[in-house]
């Protein structure tokens, strides 16, 4: 049974688009693993994706959204913990060669879990917690930030089977 699409506040759509890009990162990692691509090639892509897309996205969420609710908000705390775990995993990728594929798979799993959590639970929670004026201000800031955002490009399309 398929899950019904979630109606997202227009103010958070730019973040949801980033999440779609993040799910593509997950898919590309899994395709690379499935196609027995060298872990270093996949890890280089992950480092690029993190630096250019995921880290800025985390900052936007933390500064524009999470900062608007009580710092003890359990769902925001969970998201922040996931951000920290993802950052930690990325920081360990360049130095690891032993078990790199397992680390990449774990990274993909955590990133997907995190995105699904934010889309299915956290954003709904925040939409209900924050006043509409605050949500509008967040939406305006996100539109401005995302107006020049480019899709994630990587020169080595390891995820395409030859």
13-47 pLDDT, tens digit each:
999 999 999 999 999 999 999 999 999 999 999 99
SS3 147: coil
66-94 pLDDT, tens digit each:
999 988 899 999 999 999 999 999 998 87
Q: In this structure, are residues 57 and 96 in contact, taking their beta carbons and an 8 Å threshold?
A: no
| Tokens, residue 11 | 């103010």
- Vertex 119, ends 114 and 125: CA angle to 5°? 105
Residue ranges covered by each domain of the chain? 10-146
pTM for this prediction: 0.92
pLDDT of residue 32: 96
**Residue (of 161, 154, 137, 162) closest to 42 by Cα position:** 154
**Residue (of 159, 145, 149, 153) closest to 64 by Cα position:** 145
pLDDT of residue 47: 96
pLDDT of residue 149: 87
pLDDT band at 5 (very low <50, low <70, confident <90, very high): low
pLDDT of residue 4: 59
pLDDT of residue 71: 87
| pLDDT surpasses 80 at 7 | no
């Amino acid at each position: 049974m398929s899950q019904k699409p979630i109606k997202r506040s227009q103010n958070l759509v730019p973040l949801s688009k980033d999440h779609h890009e993040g799910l593509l990162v997950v898919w590309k990692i899994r395709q690379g693993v499935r196609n027995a691509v060298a872990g270093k090639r996949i890890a280089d892509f992950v480092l690029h994706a993190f630096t250019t897309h995921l880290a800025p996205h985390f900052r936007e969420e933390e500064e524009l959204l999470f900062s608007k609710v009580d710092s003890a908000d359990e769902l925001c705390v969970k998201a922040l913990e996931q951000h920290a775990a993802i950052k930690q995993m990325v920081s360990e990728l360049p130095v690891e060669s032993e078990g790199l594929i397992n680390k990449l798979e774990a990274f993909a799993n955590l990133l997907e879990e995190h995105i699904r959590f934010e889309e299915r639970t956290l954003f709904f929670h925040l939409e209900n917690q924050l006043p509409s004026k605050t949500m509008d201000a967040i939406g305006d800031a996100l539109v401005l930030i995302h107006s020049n955002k480019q899709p994630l490009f990587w020169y080595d399309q390891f995820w395409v089977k030859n």
